[in-house]
A and B are shown apart, each in its own frame.
Chain A
Amino acid sequence: MPHGNTELTRISDSLLFGIYNVYGYVTGYSSFLRAYPICFKHFWVMFIYDVFLKHVIDLYALLTLRTEYWDKKQAN
């Protein structure tokens, strides 16, 4: 065992991974907010989208692929 406390090792590894992610978020969001400072009011929605909503949309799209076909469309 290279480390004595495995729980601490797992937590530190998770923190390192988290810091790597946070670095990406900070650089990405800061460049966007510099271009669109007006969007600062709702900047939290970008975080929600990147962490959660993006994956939900992809999963929902995967499960509902057939809805884009003509025979599944409802006539107006």
Chain B
Amino acid sequence: MPISRSQNLLQCRSTDPSVSSPLIDEPDSISVFQTLSARTAYGLNGTMATRYGAGGGVTTLTGACVAVRRSLLKKKDFCEEYTNEVNFGQRRTTGDDHCLTRWIQNNGWRTVWQRHELAEVGIYTASTSRHISQLTRWSRTGYIAALNTIFGLKEPDILQLWKRHPILGGKTVSRALRPWFSVFHFGVWVYVMFTSPGIG
């Protein structure tokens, strides 16, 4: 099996026709999973804009690139929390973006964002089915983070979050309910298949 080739699909967003990318040069080479990856990444544009515009939230992308101040790394409690995040009594390997965001907000750090073309962060799209496992991992991480907030296992809990960012509080609740809506979807589909197979 060849090593999966990753291509930066978001570079194609440039409206300048002189800006080229491997993807545009080889249009036949795009795979199904790259299309799916681009679609999921594109769907985040509206979500992130809504969270910023309506809720005042700033997205952090620690997975794609992270630069941490040395003064922050000298703090032992931060390093402990960032590298040994405990959820439900067990250490986790993912969810560093949630952990970092929560930590800097709870400890009085100010957040700024750069609005510059050079500060744009691209997402590498997987050309193989590896993207499906990535989506599964994101789904697990988001669900666990929502549960942490709702059950008050991490600061801020849902009431504090609701007071600070009402839109994000609502999004957190809907995120925790999302897998259960999927269960409901399947249940309704099975029921309709039995009662009215034509509609199902």
Contacts and interface: CB of A to CB of B under 8 A. Distances in A.
Given A11-B199, A55-B185, A61-B136, A45 B32 contact: yes
Nearest to B199: A14
The dominant DSSP class at the B interface is helix
A43 B186 CA distance: 24
Interface in A23-49: 28, 32, 35-36, 38-39, 41-43, 45-46, 49
B185 A70 contact: no
A23 B137 CA distance: 30
Contact of B136 (A11, A57, A73): A57
A65 interface: yes
B104 to A, nearest CB: 22
A26 B115 CA distance: 31
A14 to B, nearest CB: 5
B14 to A, nearest CB: 11
A58 B180 CA distance: 9
A19 to B, nearest CB: 14
A59 B143 contact: no
29 contacts: A11-B198, A11-B199, A14-B199, A38-B30, A39-B34, A39-B35, A39-B38, A39-B39, A41-B35, A42-B32, A45-B32, A45-B39, A46-B39, A53-B132, A55-B185, A55-B186, A56-B182, A57-B132, A61-B137, A62-B179, A64-B140, A65-B140, A65-B144, A68-B94, A68-B95, A68-B140, A68-B141, A69-B91, A70-B90
Interface of B: 9, 12-13, 23-24, 27, 30-32, 34-36, 38-40, 42-43, 90-95, 132, 135-137, 139-141, 143-144, 178-179, 182-183, 185-186, 196, 198-199
